[in-house]
Amino acid sequence: MLTTQNQLNVNFIGQEAVAGEGMPFSAYAPATSEALAEGFTNVTPEQANAAVDKAAAAFSPYAHLHPHKRADFLDAIASEIDALGDELIERAVLESGLPTARITGERGRTMGQIRLFANLLREGSWVDARINPALPDRQPLPRPDLRQMLMPLGPVVVFGASNFPLAFSVAGGDTVSALAAGCPVVFKAHPAHPGTSSLVAMAITTAAQKTGMPDGVFSLLHADNEVAQALVAHPAIKAVGFTGSRRGGLALLRVAQNRPEPIPVYAEMSAVNPLVVLPGAIADETGPASATTVAAGLAGSITLGVGQFCTNPGLVFLLTSPKTEQFLGTLAEKIRASAPATMLTDGIRQAFEQGINHLALMPGVQRRAESDTDAQASQNQGRPTLLTTTASQFLSNADLGEEVFGPSSLVVVCDTEAELRDCLNQLEGQLTATIYATTAELKQSSINWIDLLQAKAGRVLFGGFPTGVEVCEAMTHGGPFPATTDGGRTTSVGTGAILRFVRPISYQSFPNELLPLALQNANPLGIRRMVDGKPE
């Protein structure tokens, strides 16, 4: 492990730790609004270009490594992150304002998803190998030997997220899925946690050195917006991974589309994650299907992590029933009892307050409840807030469907199923959509609620709450625009994330020894393959 003492202010251009030659900046502790002692320096355009050049040179040797060697590299990254110990936890807590338990859990998730991709590489069938052997005697024309598999795109630029300084950052899902695919990564660090980013970059660089990876397989850059956009425009870059605001994601998408060679931008952006409550789901007096139970759980989901999850349920649709007021009363009570807490940055806290005030001033919107404790601006605290409106107001004002990033939710009370259907149809694309209902309600309704919701979101929940994303093979973390820029065809969480950074290549009439290992006759990798449309 490289020494971390007095070395937080570094960029990594490949395996070389260098000082930035651009503008200096400071990290802040959001809980105190104080600048931290260490200074940081952005790279210049020339330094950024040097990182991309190294990535381009590393692409071919890295892509052609035996997949088990790439898996060893990933496992080594997880081990080196673990070896950082308390230093990483303490720094991430300081820079994010998130509690120690949350950061500790996030570190575990980060190492877990790295090892998940290492296991995927060793199993190997993700390359989707397809073989159609030659048919020289076929009439009227012979068929040549054709073999297809997924191959890496090339160097990738990844942007760190503000709300997950570990799991969606330097060694997060975008980086690890790209590295697993065989793509070198140039990582643009988030300015809200530069020290945390440098520590994790040291771990990745150390892992690359210990496992003999080509120089340039990974770089970390502290960079301003101009340099960041120049990275996306660089002709050697073949894809972009991003988690953040709609404005930021669309800015990168425009750059990528205006290149002489447009490239895909996999940007996960805004979502309000609607939660629908039908009467049967809250009809009981007690138990899991009571208005009190569901409302209490919802309040916890709204305020979890100060609402700074991309799956925060920011919009609730409630169909009028005898339990409507009990549901709203409990929800308001729990919101009032929820304490303000430090948000990730001063900018995020200010945007949250502006968003709440903007909604509250709209016609027909009521500020139903706020935390009984005042938020402290000096600690960048967000105050949990509940707003309500009617279906008619929601349908007449598209702004009510916009995301407010923080511990709040807007409840839309609908008098009829038709109103509820129209409200849902008006929604933009989402990461998640949740429905609380009985099976009988869904079967008896003339409206197919599940079809309606799955047209809007990448993950549909029956009961439960969307906050929290399980990292596994079956997870989809994506959705139709503007949840993502790619129309919801991919995921940024789970093993399917690797498919963003590969493309299919067919090999026709190749000598066996020149084929990739996954396509050779003897199947030396021992992976599952399809031969003439049937499992081998």
> Which residues form the domain of 336?
275-462
> Which whole-number Å values give the CA distances from 278 to 94, 238, 329, 438, in the listed order?
42, 45, 17, 8
Residue 476 lies in a domain: no
Residue 11 lies in a domain: no
CATH of the domain at 47: 3.40.605.10
Q: What is the mean pLDDT of residues 160-173?
A: 96
Helix axes 67-83 and 100-123, enclosed angle (nearest 10): 160
Residue 3 — pLDDT band, cuts 50, 70, 90? very low
Specify the range with the lowest mean pLDDT, choosing from 216-230, 279-293, 319-333, 506-520. Answer: 279-293
Pick from 341, 334, 332, 273: nearest CA to 305: 341
Asked whether residue 399 falls in the same domain as residue 435, the answer is: yes
Asked whether residue 109 falls in the same domain as residue 241, the answer is: yes
Distance CA 202, CA 205 (A): 5
Residue 357 lies in a domain: yes
Radius of gyration of the chain (CA): 25
> Which whole-number Å values give the CA distances from 515 to 9, 71, 148, 439, 510, in the listed order?
45, 21, 10, 52, 7
Pick from 242, 276, 314: nearest CA to 467: 314
pTM of the model: 0.96
Residue 50 lies in a domain: yes
Distance CA 155, CA 525 (A): 25
CATH of the domain at 335: 3.40.309.10
Q: Is 504 left (phi over 0), alpha (psi -120 to 50) or beta?
A: beta
Residues 513-529 pLDDT 10s: 999 999 999 999 999 99
Distance CA 361, CA 171 (A): 41
> Which whole-number Å values give the CA distances from 309 to 103, 161, 180, 351, in the listed order?
14, 11, 26, 15
So what's the pLDDT on residue 288? 87
Above 70 in pLDDT, residue 348? yes
The per-residue b/e assignment along 51-68, b for 16 or more CB within 10 angstroms, e otherwise, is bbbbbbbbbeebbebebe
Three-state SS sequence of 118-135: HHHHHHCHHHCCEEECCE
Q: What is the mean pLDDT of residues 89-108?
A: 97
> Which whole-number Å values give the CA distances from 511 to 130, 140, 195, 533, in the listed order?
16, 25, 50, 22
Asked whether residue 234 falls in the same domain as residue 184, the answer is: yes
**Residue 331: how many CA atoms within 13 Å on its side-chain side?**
28
Above 50 in pLDDT, residue 4? no
- What are the start-end ranges of the E strands in 170-264? 185-188, 218-221, 239-243
Asked whether residue 418 falls in the same domain as residue 449, the answer is: yes
Above 60 in pLDDT, residue 130? yes
Distance CA 533, CA 536 (A): 9
Residue 5 — pLDDT band, cuts 50, 70, 90? very low
So what's the pLDDT on residue 83? 97
Which residues are catalytically annotated?
A: 268, 310
So what's the pLDDT on residue 468? 87
Q: What is the mean pLDDT of residues 96-115?
A: 97
Residue 395 lies in a domain: yes
Residues 467-505 pLDDT 10s: 989 999 999 999 999 999 998 999 999 999 999 999 999
Residues 26-37 pLDDT 10s: 999 999 999 998
Distance CA 352, CA 314 (A): 12
Three-state SS sequence of 13-50: ECCEEECCCCCEEEEEECCCCEEEEEEEECCCHHHHHH
Inter-residue contact 163 to 135 (CB < 8 Å): no
So what's the pLDDT on residue 37? 86
So what's the pLDDT on residue 7? 73
Distance CA 113, CA 189 (A): 20
Residue 127 lies in a domain: yes
Residue 2 — pLDDT band, cuts 50, 70, 90? very low
So what's the pLDDT on residue 289? 87
Above 90 in pLDDT, residue 414? yes
Pick from 442, 486, 433, 453: nearest CA to 314: 433
Above 60 in pLDDT, residue 331? yes
Distance CA 204, CA 80 (A): 7
So what's the pLDDT on residue 469? 94
Asked whether residue 111 falls in the same domain as residue 54, the answer is: yes
Asked whether residue 281 falls in the same domain as residue 244, the answer is: no
Residues 212-223 pLDDT 10s: 999 999 999 999
Residue 32 lies in a domain: no
Query: Other C-beta atoms within 10 Å of 333: how many?
Result: 16
**Matching residue, tokens 């409200």:** 423
Asked whether residue 306 falls in the same domain as residue 404, the answer is: yes
The per-residue b/e assignment along 361-390, b for 16 or more CB within 10 angstroms, e otherwise, is eeeebeebbbbeeebeeebbbbbbbbbbbb
Asked whether residue 260 falls in the same domain as residue 297, the answer is: no
Residues with Cβ within 8 Å of residue 491, at least 6 apart in sequence: 458, 475, 476, 477, 478, 497
Report the DSSP pairing between strands 408-414 and 385-390.
parallel
Asked whether residue 332 falls in the same domain as residue 198, the answer is: no
Helix (H, G, I), strand (E, B) or coil at 405: coil
Asked whether residue 408 falls in the same domain as residue 368, the answer is: yes
Three-state SS sequence of 209-223: HHCCCCCCCEEEECC
Residue 420 — pLDDT band, cuts 50, 70, 90? very high
Asked whether residue 395 falls in the same domain as residue 260, the answer is: no
The mean predicted confidence, pLDDT, of the chain is 96
Above 60 in pLDDT, residue 292? yes
Above 60 in pLDDT, residue 25? yes
Residue 303 lies in a domain: yes
Identify the domain boundary among 462, 477, 510. 462
End-to-end CA gap in the chain: 44
Q: Where would I find the H helices in 461-505?
A: none
Asked whether residue 94 falls in the same domain as residue 238, the answer is: yes
Total domains present in the chain: 2
Distance CA 120, CA 498 (A): 10
